[in-house]
Amino acid sequence: MAVAKRIAMFVAVNLLIILTLSITLNLLGVGYYFTARGIDYHALLVFCLVWGMGGAFISLGLSRIMAKWMMGVQVIDPATTEPGLSELVSTVHRLASAAGLPAMPEVGIYPSPEINAFATGPTKSRALVAVSAGLLERLDRYQLEGVLGHEISHIANGDMVTMTLLQGVINALVMFLARIIAFFLANRGRDEDSSAAPSYLVIFLLEIVLSFLGMIAVAAFSRWREYRADAGGARLAGREKMIDALEGLRRNIEYADLTRRQSLATLKISGGRRFSLFATHPPLEDRIERLKAGI
As a whole number of angstroms, the distance between CA 99 and CA 122 comes to 17
Buried b (16+ CB within 10 A) or exposed e, 123-146: ebebbbbbbbebbbebbeeebbbb
**Integer Cα distance of 163 and 97 in angstroms:** 24
Q: Are 51 and 172 in contact (CB under 8 A)?
A: yes
Alpha carbons 152 and 229: distance in angstroms, whole number: 8
HEC readout, 103-149: CCCEEEEECCCCCCEEEEEEECCEEEEEEEHHHHHHCCHHHHHHHHH
Q: Look at residues 230, 221, 179 and name the one whose alpha carbon lies nearest to residue 203.
A: 179
Nearest Cα to Cα of residue 32 among 191, 245, 183, 257: 183
- Active site positions, annotated: 151
